[in-house]
A = this chain, B = another copy of it.
Amino acid sequence: MNVLSPSRRVVVIGGVAGGASCAARLRRLDEFADITIVERGPDVSFANCGLPYHIGGEIRDRDALSIQTPASLQAMLNLRVLALTEATHIDRNARTVTVKSVKTGEERLLPYDQLVLAPGAAPLRPPLPGIEHPQILSLRSLEDMDRIKLALHHISSVLVIGAGFIGLEMAEQLAHLKKKVHLVELQPQILPLLDAEMVRPMENELRRHHVDLRLGQAVASFSAEPDNHVTAVLSNGERLTVGAVILSIGVRPESALAKQAGLALTPRGHVVVSEYMQTSDPLIYAVGDVCATPDPLSGGVSNVPLGGPANRQGRTCADHMVRGPSALPYPGSIGTAIVRVFHLAAGITGLSEKRLRELARPYRSTTVTGSSHASYYPGSQKITLKVLWDPETGRVLGAQSYGGDGVDKRLDVLATALRGKLTIDDLVHLEMSYAPPFGSAKDIVNIAGFAATNQRDGLLHNVDTVPDGALLLDVRATATATQEPMAGATNIPLPLLRKQLASLDPNQVVVTVCNFGKTGYFAARVLAQHRYTALTLTGGVHGHPELLKHKDDDAS
C-alpha cells in the first residue's frame, strides 16, 4: 500500500454533475487521495435534467433521480461528502476553504492541496415588484422540484416565464398535468439560441396543445391574489392571474466565491479556465456551469450550461491533477442541445445564423426537408435540417433541426462533423446506416450536402422571399395547387414545364416553389438552362405557409 507518500488533499465544492464526475474520476486515478465534496444542498449527483419529467409524472419514481447519495459515494468511492454545507471563503495563501453548516451555522476550515469549484449556476430571479410571492418558483434541485410539485396541488393554471429549454420542458409537462399553461418569452421567438424560422413549427405545436404562448413580452410586476394566486402584469399591460409561476429565464454562474478569491472572471461572470480547467490560480480548478471554456467555433470563450460538458470537464480536471499536461485537454464546447415539446423535437449544434451575424462571420445557409426514414415504410415523419457553412472552405459551422423523429440523430451526426471539421462535400458522402425502418438511401444529411454543394456550385439559387416583380411559379401537381392555392402564383406542374416554357416571359425573374423545395429546384434547373433567371424558394410551401391562401396553423 502506498502509505509512504502523503495523500493529496482535494476539496470539491459542488457535488452534482461536474463536481461528482471529477471526484469519481479522481478516485479511480488516485485511490489514496483525501477527497472531500462540499455540497450546499442535501443531495449529490442527481439527475437534474429529469426534474421536469418527475413533476409531469412521466418519471414516477423520485428515487430514480438520485444517481448517488452521500452514503453511496462514501461506500463506492471512499469520498467524504459534506452535504448541507456551504463554502464561504477561500484563503489561497493558506490553501484553506472555510465551510459552514447550513443547519447549525458551525464553521470549519478545510485545507487543500488542490481545489475544484463546481458550484454550478443559479436560476435568475429578477428584482421585480412582488417577486417574493411564495408561488413564484424556479427549478434547479430536487428540493425545488418537490416545492413545485406541492405548489401545483389544487391549482389549475401556471405561468412559465422564459421559453428556453427548461421553460419548454416545464410547459409541456404542465400541459400533461392538464394545467392551463401560459408561456411568456421576452424574445419574439421561443428557444432564442436557435434561428427564428427553425422554431416556428414548435411554437405552433405549443399552441396546438393549448399553451398560451406570448412572445416578445416581459413580466413587469407580480401581485398577490386570494387563494395564494398571483397576478403577473405583462409589458403590454395585460394581466395574467395564475396559481403558480415558474421562472426559467436563464441562469447566472455561482462565481461569488471565485470572485472573493480573486480568480479571473469573464465580463459575464464566468470563471476563466485553461484547457485543463485550471483557473488563474493553478491549484484551483473550475468545471461546469460556473466556468467559461475556449469556444472552438467562434474563437472566444463560451459556457454551455449542460450536464454533458460539465461531466467531461470534471474528468479533464481530475486527469490533469494526477497526470499534469499529459492529460487530454478539454477541447471546448460546441454547444449541442435538444428539446422535445409534445410530438416535435428541435435542437442545435454549433453556431446559429444569428450568432454568425453577431460574429460578423461570412456564412451560407442551406435548409432541406425530408423523411426521418424511408417514406415508403410506415411511420416516417418530416424532418427539417438547416446547415450553416463557410463560403470559402465549405466547412460546416453549425446545424439546426426540427421534426417528429430522428432530430437527435441528425444533430449528433452534425456535431460529430463539426468536431471532425467536415465540409459540405463530406456531408454528400456520409455513409449512414440504412434499412427502411431506420433511414433513407439518401439521408436528409446527404441531401443537405447535395443542396449546399449545389448552392456553392451555382446550380441552386435559393431565396427566402419573392423579389418584387418576380413571377411566383408553383410547380406542384395541379390537384395540390387547386386544393392549397398560393396567392399570386402561376401553376405549371414540373412535368408540363418544358412544354409550356413559351408561356413564360424570358425577361421576368421566376421564383419556383413546390412543397418542400426539391421539385422547385428541379424546375429552376430546367428554366436556368433555357436562359431564364430562376430562383427557388427555400423549403417550399412547408417553409413559407404564409403563401397559402388558407393558411394552416401547422407548418410542421
Contacts and interface: CB of A to CB of B under 8 A. Distances in A.
A135 interface: no
Contacts of A426: 419-420
A349 B431 contact: yes
A340 to B, nearest CB: 5
Given A49-B436, A310-B441, A340-B438, 17 more contacts: A27-B525, A49-B374, A53-B377, A75-B495, A76-B522, A77-B522, A315-B450, A328-B425, A336-B432, A336-B434, A338-B434, A408-B438, A412-B433, A415-B432, A415-B433, A419-B422, A419-B429
Nearest to A345: B438
Contacts of A412: 409, 412-413, 430, 432-433, 439
Contacts of A28: 459, 522, 525
A535 interface: no
A32 B376 contact: no
Given A50-B376, A438-B408, A328 B416 contact: no
Question: 6 closest pairs, A vs B, by CB?
Answer: A420-B420, A31-B529, A307-B441, A75-B495, A338-B433, A408-B438
A2 B529 contact: yes
A312 interface: yes
A120 interface: no
A361 interface: no
Contacts of A334: 431
Interface of A: 1-2, 17, 27-32, 47, 49-50, 53, 58-59, 64-65, 67, 72, 75-78, 165, 169, 304, 306-312, 315, 328, 330-331, 333-340, 345, 347, 349, 374, 376-378, 407-409, 411-413, 415-417, 419-422, 425-426, 428-439, 441-443, 446, 450, 453, 459, 494-495, 498, 522, 525-526, 529-531
A377 B436 contact: no
Nearest to A519: B76
A345 B453 CA distance: 33
A431 B336 contact: yes
Contacts of A377: 50, 53, 58-59
Contacts of A420: 416-417, 419-422, 426
8 contacts: A28-B459, A31-B526, A49-B374, A53-B436, A76-B522, A312-B442, A412-B413, A419-B431
B409 A312 contact: no
Q: Which of A76, A498, A530 has the most chain B CB within a 10 Å cutoff? A: A76
A447 B28 CA distance: 15
A419 B408 contact: no
A160 to B, nearest CB: 17
A165 B345 CA distance: 31
Given A311-B441, A498-B78, A433 B419 contact: no
Contacts of A335: 431
A304 B526 CA distance: 33
Given A65-B376, A336-B431, A436 B50 contact: yes
A3 to B, nearest CB: 11
B58 A378 contact: yes
A282 B337 CA distance: 48
A376 B434 contact: no
B434 A49 contact: yes
Contacts of A522: 28, 76-77
Contact of A531 (B1, B58, B437, B441): B1
A64 to B, nearest CB: 4
A60 B100 CA distance: 68
B378 A47 contact: no
Q: Which of A67, A169, A409 has the most chain B CB within a 10 Å cutoff? A: A409
A377 B169 CA distance: 14
Given A1-B530, A47-B374, A426-B420, A415 B438 contact: no
